[in-house]
Amino acid sequence: DADVTQTPRNRITKTGKRIMLECSQTKGHDRMYWYRQDPGLGLRLIYYSFDVKDINKGEISDGYSVSRQAQAKFSLSLESAIPNQTALYFCATSDAQGGFPTLLFGQGTRLTVV
Amino acid sequence: AQSVTQPDIHITVSEGASLELRCNYSYGATPYLFWYVQSPGQGLQLLLKYFSGDTLVQGIKGFEAEFKRSQSSFNLRKPSVHWSDAAEYFCAVGATGTASKLTFGTGTRLQVTL
The per-residue pLDDT for range A48-103, each reduced to its tens digit, is: 998 899 999 999 999 999 999 999 999 999 999 999 999 999 999 997 766 678 89
Residues 6+ apart with CB under 8 A from A98: B51
DSSP symbols for B15-53: TTS-EEE--EEE-SSPPEEEEEEE-TT--EEEEEEE-SS
Predicted local confidence at residue A101, as pLDDT = 81
> Chain B contact for A63, CB < 8 A?
no
Residue B99 has pLDDT above 70, yes or no: no
Band (pLDDT 50/70/90 cuts) for residue B27 is confident
Residue of B nearest to A39 (CA): B106
Environment class of A24 (CB within 10 Å of its CB; exposed 0-12, middle 13-18, buried 19+): buried
Question: Cβ–Cβ contacts within 10 Å for residue B80, how many?
Answer: 11
Query: Do B106 and B7 contact (CB within 8 A), yes or no?
Result: no
Q: Which amino acid is at A72?
A: A
pLDDT, one tens digit per residue, over B28-42 is: 777 899 999 999 888
Residue of A nearest to B51 (CA): A99
Predicted local confidence at residue B28, as pLDDT = 72
Predicted local confidence at residue A1, as pLDDT = 66
Angstrom CA distances, A71 to A39, A57, A58, stand at: 31, 18, 19
Residue ranges of chain B whose CB lies within 8 Å of a chain A CB: 4, 9, 32, 34, 36, 41-46, 49, 51-52, 90, 92, 94, 96, 99-102, 104-107
Residue B8 has pLDDT above 80, yes or no: yes
Residue B69 has pLDDT above 70, yes or no: yes
Q: Which of B2, B38, B3, B5 is nearest to B22 (CA)?
A: B5
The SS3 assignment for A49 reads strand
Query: Do B52 and B39 contact (CB within 8 A), yes or no?
Result: no
Mean per-residue pLDDT over chain B, rounded: 92
